[in-house]
Structure 1
């Protein structure tokens, strides 16, 4: 393709790689003439959304021609009440991606540094590139965050540190002791973003809930999402919780009406239905156990995961395995883009989807 306008780009934009989402179900059906497809690539909730959420959306369909509440007033107050925080400490965005990127845009620029771990969520590095800051990638330890090394990587030029707990795509978790040793030593003028997109799935007493540290560390922002355990991925809704001053800056820069009306309505209903979240988490634990038992039986190496997905290694046969899975109607997530070419990330799906994957992978490995 002829590049007519590349010379007009800001220099930091030229190196950004276009995000490639997982293969859509409809595309795979057309490509291989399939009637049955199991999508296990995007860490979605196999149970969908709560029935109460669906009804809340139906009740509001007549308002589709109206702009949403630009302040997300009812949602903000409902979430603040649920989290036992003040409304001024919560900000909402079009997915947690928008929130994570806004932090970089507000606090970093050319000449600054943004620190993150190897094998961490791609938006961290992309956010650094967008604002022209230097991305500092710290080598991982056991596929997870090496917090002491990340602490050492902080310099006077560091403006933002991104951490994910559990981490995507590897599913690893750092403990409460590791976190407390880290955050207590971070300079107060460095913004720490703790990305907890998968925190609902963690069933471990050593997990550090970021909200418990906000009062002691005003430089801490906790990022969460409604896309995973709440099953609202198509509505794109994420949020940040933190000190009122930091949240004020986020709200100043976020786009007007950045959270659509149905996302707000759905989220209010979702917050009130925690039984559905518990059902989701229990379902995930069962599916995870099912996958790991099969991997152990087939001698497939995997990274122990605290999320709703697991990374499995197929060595130098990974591309071949992925293609064979696709031909059989199973979509997983290759991780070559994360410099993990020997791994596939497999989301926990419905019992039917899980069994579909298990049947195909068992046949392939034999």
Structure 2
């Protein structure tokens, strides 16, 4: 049978919800024609459908298929997005995802999605200076921004603005063994993170109840009293939400730092979290919130027990490599390496 015949059989099997047969036919299609991009894309969808949680084998195979799709058709933005999601959300390949999105920029230099994704990854890893540079490139190059991206970009901008006002040395970097953030994590490790709703109930609800009980004596009855009471409650809720959000990040900062350390371990495939923290309640809570493929891969990394070498450095992509595609080439390359890992 030809590749197209296998592909049509795969479509029919998928329509009949016979997913195993559909996957088998799709694989036969790419075996007959390795350049059948639609069959490769079908393999991606069957192994890692949207809204599902593939295991490590399925996620890895889906990522390989995504690579095939973008190699055959670099304009497939959906394949770039899917591959990026598999790398970050399911496999924890943050560093590789930076290079993946730079490849996307080279293929589609006028797309804003790669910059937004790179900014998010760099910010998650605590590399705020590099993240600010990425976000500024979005506006310097005057790229079109989809409406669906505006809220995300606004949130990133606020985060990066806050980080710029803070002491750079205070930003937790998991690759530094002597960073003070590890002490805070150890002190908080026996407790799970506190939810924002719980903090709101503890800090704001008592004031709201007090206002409701005292409203009649303060504002009286009638529409005037009702309107003033409603306005007071609205203002209290707004102030309470703002205060709760700040308190939430402050109280759970050790948890966010440990989450960054978990993500860094998955990205670097090296162990940095001390054993006494790894068995803690906080670690187990954060670990359990990751998808199955992420957990399985991290367990393999922990079992391998490879430590960061003394001269370890994270290799960042050349963020200007896409300029070749638009006819502009830098004369000098910037050094895109992080400071080396600190030993005790």
Give TM-score, length-normalised by structure 1: 0.29
- Greater relative contact order: 1 or 2 (C-alpha under 8 angstroms, separation 6 or more)? 1
The structure with more strand, counted as a fraction of residues: 1
Give TM-score, length-normalised by structure 2: 0.31
The structure with more helix, counted as a fraction of residues: 2
Greater gyration radius = 2
